[in-house]
Amino acid sequence: MENLKIGKHNIKRTAGLAPMASVADKAYRYMCKKYGASLVVGEMASAKGLCYSDRKTAELLECTANEYPMAIQLFGSEPEFMAKACKIAEKYEPQFIDINMGCPVQKVVSTGAGSALLKTPELACDIVKACVNATDIPITVKIRRGFDNNNINAVEMACMLEEAGASAIAVHGRTRQQMYTPGVDIDIIKKVKEAVKVPVFGNGDVFDPISAKKMYDYTNCDLVLVARGSYGRPWIFEEIETYLEQGVILPEKSLDEKLDIMLEHISLICEFKGERIAMREARKHAAWYLKGMHNAAKFRNLCASLEKYEDIKNLVLEVKKYN
Ligand SMILES: Cc1cc2nc3c(=O)[nH]c(=O)nc-3n(C[C@H](O)[C@H](O)[C@H](O)COP(=O)(O)O)c2cc1C
């Protein structure tokens, strides 16, 4: 498949990492990139927080060359703040700036941001226009199928956002109301793709190479984005790439390989965040890596008490003993 071009950047049409707040941090993105993600998106950052110089918000924007191509994701409901935030984001040198129009969290929605923008398409377009005017970095937008079942408007939104200057549209095929059931509506992604000229990213329920191929074949989307399918398996991107390019399903990684990758991931979190914070955050990642192994339930409990990097090394020894 030919590469996808957005602005001056080429993106391989394999699979990219979707944004995940509190999960897809720098270490996570680095691991996904290492194992083949063709694009990574950062954790959503508040435009207002950036404008008010909040240090924690600014940290979310940090990106390193080994994550490229990368999008920084911003959320907000005021065009002026969003434009200012784009200027601030420029300093971090991302290849793209993505605007979050899909977040379902009440704290975000109640401010008119995230998926609430699906109910105010004109404001959503004003935001895109303000961001496009503020920076030369391509602005992309991530939307959902609609706000709720009475307001399924992804196609209309995508057309308006394209007109406003968005360089690509990512579509998560669910409404704000739907959490993760029922399954994703890939028809809506297909319809958005038919309606706009800018690239469309298909997102939702891609957990393996077969579902990635189905997303491409059925919707004709330009890029597939994977979120939860990368939990504890950053190599899913390599699996998808190999299947799409060679029609080959890679064999499952060995236990030793999986454990080595987990240790590398957790040591990176320690490097970026310091051991104390890192080991708290590592608990969920370790549990995801160990899922499906013999005695997984017992190991999951042990994950919950990880305090030091040494603890995860000891846990690996235990896992090897019982597997
Ligand atoms: C823990 C978690 C955090 C998320 N954070 C964000 C976010 O910051 N911005 C965003 O646009 N979507 C966010 N999402 C939504 C995902 O990007 C994606 O649209 C959704 O999980 C569906 O994809 P999947 O079926 O591959 O998981 C998040 C999802 C999860 C599970």
- For the stretch 64-79, pLDDT in tens is 999 999 999 999 999 9
Active site residue 131: no
Question: Does 193 share its domain with 286?
Answer: no
Per-residue buried b or exposed e for 211-230, using 16+ beta carbons within 10 Å of the residue's own CB: bbbbbbeebebbbbbbbebb
Question: Does 198 share its domain with 312?
Answer: no
Distance, CA of 202 to CA of 313 (rounded, Å)? 38
Can you give the residue range of the structural domain that contains 231? 4-246
Q: Whose CA is nearest to atom 1 of ligand 1?
A: 20
Question: Does 178 share its domain with 263?
Answer: no
Question: Does 223 share its domain with 303?
Answer: no
Q: Whose CA is nearest to atom 5 of ligand 1?
A: 20
CATH number at residue 283: 1.10.1200.80
Residue 322 — pLDDT band, cuts 50, 70, 90?
confident
Which among 216, 246, 276 is the end of a domain? 246
Question: Does 261 share its domain with 242?
Answer: no
Question: Does 183 share its domain with 285?
Answer: no
Cβ contact 160:128 at 8 Å: no
Catalytic residue of the set 32, 63, 86, 103:
103
How far is the CA of 320 from the CAs of 255, 259, 295, 323, in angstroms? 8, 9, 11, 5
Question: Does 293 share its domain with 192?
Answer: no
What the block records as the tokens of 135 is 């920076």
Question: Does 171 share its domain with 301?
Answer: no
What the block records as the tokens of 107 is 């704290």
pLDDT tens per residue across span 78-113: 999 999 999 999 999 999 999 999 999 999 999 999
Residue type, 69: P
Look at residue 185 and tell me whether its pLDDT is greater than 80: yes
Question: Does 306 share its domain with 207?
Answer: no
Question: Does 115 share its domain with 151?
Answer: yes
Q: Whose CA is nearest to atom 10 of ligand 1?
A: 19
pLDDT tens per residue across span 208-245: 999 999 999 999 999 999 999 999 999 999 999 999 99
Ligand 1 atom index nearest CA of 174: 22
HEC assignment per residue over 25-54 = CHHHHHHHHHCCCCCEECCCEEHHHHHCCC
Look at residue 178 and tell me whether its pLDDT is greater than 90: no
Cβ contact 41:19 at 8 Å: yes
Give the residue, out of 171, 172, 201, 224, with the most ligand 1 atoms within 8 A of its beta carbon, to mutate for a pocket test: 172
**Total of domains in the chain:** 2
Look at residue 17 and tell me whether its pLDDT is greater than 90: yes
Q: Whose CA is nearest to atom 6 of ligand 1?
A: 20
Give the residue, out of 178, 228, 230, 288, with the most ligand 1 atoms within 8 A of its beta carbon, to mutate for a pocket test: 228
Which among 191, 212, 246 is the end of a domain? 246
CATH number at residue 67: 3.20.20.70
> Which residues lie with the beta carbon below 6 Å from any ligand 1 atom?
18-21, 23, 43-44, 73, 100, 102-103, 142, 172, 203-206, 226-229
Which among 246, 273, 303 is the end of a domain? 246
Question: Does 105 share its domain with 202?
Answer: yes
Question: Does 278 share its domain with 209?
Answer: no
